[in-house]
Chains A and B, each alone.
Chain A
């Protein structure tokens, strides 16, 4: 016989972003901390309530740009100054106006790769399994469901279901681990 699934949390579904924002604010004020919301399109009002931050992502992009540009310029300098110096009519080996074009492209490439990989890594994607997919109501198929999740580990979890119901959720479900 299968053991009963461990509880991950409880999820409430709303039809519009506004009730979700109101509910998130209400639950946070009631002392819930282990909250997450799932929306079919970005709802910036939730960022502050649920403390969603970009974190180091912008710095990663900047670092990618600098590393990319320096790596390309460094490679060129190594090739023209050390590995294969070629004196053509006494022209300077470090022809920086020409090399800046390539360093710029290297910087752009580094920044874009850092932004893309950094976004996925910080979000922990790809992750094909997540407990929230266990909730029968959880689907982006129609795009008219906005979800608020209270995790089991939340200190106020005992009250969460009641709070979600009272906040006007259309459906409130338990989410198995």
Chain B
């Protein structure tokens, strides 16, 4: 970063003292200095959340037949949503755990909300496979519980691995997030003026008093959890991809899927980080903590992941040609020119075409444009998952059974409803908990000599 302009070189801009850091971050929560458009935004997403609840209730009451899926395309938007949402969660873990291990200190001001994003994305992701079961009230059959049937799960099935991987990922993400929050909750406990606030944050802070011995164990556990989360994050999307690649369906049965899914996960995840970070820093005056350098670094990781995804597209096409397998070759052809061809080309334009704009520095520093590009990439990655999920079964081995799936109002309702729920949860998180890690930004300011 030697040649970077002075304004963007530092991770904490200006010379904020410790009181200013804790005041500005804590003030969002405690002083309720929220602009009116915050509540209008929340209202919008809250309405979407209500629509989501309606759609979920409707789906459970009426059944999956109301979705656009049709034999032989039995996996549709629900599975697409799972894969997409889990992918979004991955960027949060990458920022909080992997970048911590590599001592990338620019992560310190974006890790907290990225971890919250992970949790809420996983909350959404976890719902879809259960809702897609048809009889969602039996989802606990995936667990080895002693029950009246005395059956065991099929341990060889990727669906059971998937369940275990996602459940583990949610638990580890939650523990990691809460562990990082404890010292900040103590700050809020001491800053809170109202009795309910003191009680709320005081109870959550667990009596944290910042003793040197506590910090030592806290930091040790934090780093160890990061070291554990790092292989976990790679494994989760790999396991999800095995749901596809262990099957024999052309278009699913592919050994490149695990790394390709992980790259796609980071790609869409960083797009979502930018989608949240850019409005967050503008709306709450946090431009000194989430600086242009943070955004620039995030964009660069997103580019790297995006180029890997593009390589994945090429490799998939090449391998199916090179395999000489007629079904595999037809699968690639049908993706590009079959019933879902428009979606495929839009996906390529979003994920590979638009990405190339980011080579140019003026574009990487233009926040409204970056925000728009992040949205386009989010759309592109959803389409990628959809194209993978539906084109395989739509043109499988038996031409007499070929059929396509459509999208019904329920598919749209569940997708946009889950987005609304996700953002409504993010809004509540920003209102209730410190969206930027106070102690880590203070540590950073101390190391940079700003304070």
Contact = CB atoms under 8 A, between A and B. Distances in A.
B123 interface: no
Interface string A85-114: 000000000010011011011101101110
**Quick one: which of A40, A46, A55 has the most chain B CB within 10 A?**
A40
Nearest to B165: A105
Nearest to B235: A104
B156 interface: yes
A108 B442 contact: no
Contact of B221 (A40, A42, A57, A76): A57
B442 A40 contact: yes
Given A40-B187, A41-B439, A54-B216, A142 B206 contact: no
A132 B208 CA distance: 11
Contact of A140 (B160, B168, B179, B190): B190
Contact of A40 (B172, B210, B239): B210
B19 A143 contact: yes
B18 A55 contact: no
Contact of B172 (A55, A84, A109, A130): A109
A83 B152 CA distance: 9
A99 B161 CA distance: 9
**Quick one: which of A16, A41, A130, A133 has the most chain B CB within 10 A?**
A41
A158 interface: no
Contacts of A143: 18-19, 21-22, 187, 438, 442
Contacts of B215: 39, 42-43, 52
A109 B164 CA distance: 10
Contacts of B190: 139-141
Contacts of A70: none
Nearest to B190: A141
A79 B220 CA distance: 37
Contacts of B191: 141
Contacts of B41: none
**Quick one: which of B156, B202, B235, B440 has the most chain A CB within 10 A?**
B156
A115 B183 contact: no
Nearest to A72: B164
A75 B145 CA distance: 11
Interface in A48-77: 50, 52-55, 57-58, 61, 65, 75-76
Contacts of A16: 451
B155 A37 contact: no
Contacts of A95: 155-156
B221 A108 contact: no
A130 B186 CA distance: 14
A50 B171 CA distance: 34
Nearest to B25: A143
Given A108-B232, A142-B22, A119 B218 contact: yes
Contact of B209 (A38, A102, A104): A38
Contact of A127 (B176, B183, B207, B239): B207
A111 B224 CA distance: 9
A120 B214 CA distance: 9
B228 A115 contact: yes
Contacts of A61: 221, 224, 228
A108 B206 contact: no
B220 A57 contact: yes
In the complex, the 10 A-B pairs of residues with the closest C-beta atoms, listed nearest first: A126-B206, A143-B18, A119-B221, A54-B220, A141-B190, A52-B216, A142-B19, A144-B18, A143-B22, A41-B443
14 contacts: A41-B446, A42-B216, A42-B218, A47-B212, A57-B221, A75-B144, A95-B156, A105-B235, A112-B229, A127-B206, A129-B207, A130-B207, A140-B186, A140-B189
Interface of A: 16-17, 36-43, 46-47, 50, 52-55, 57-58, 61, 65, 75-76, 79-80, 83-84, 95, 98-99, 101-102, 104-106, 108-109, 111-113, 115-116, 118-120, 122-123, 125-130, 132-133, 139-144
Interface of B: 17-19, 21-23, 144, 151-152, 155-156, 160-161, 164-165, 168, 171-172, 175-176, 178-179, 183, 186-187, 189-191, 202-203, 206-221, 224-225, 228-229, 231-232, 235, 239, 242, 438-440, 442-443, 446, 451
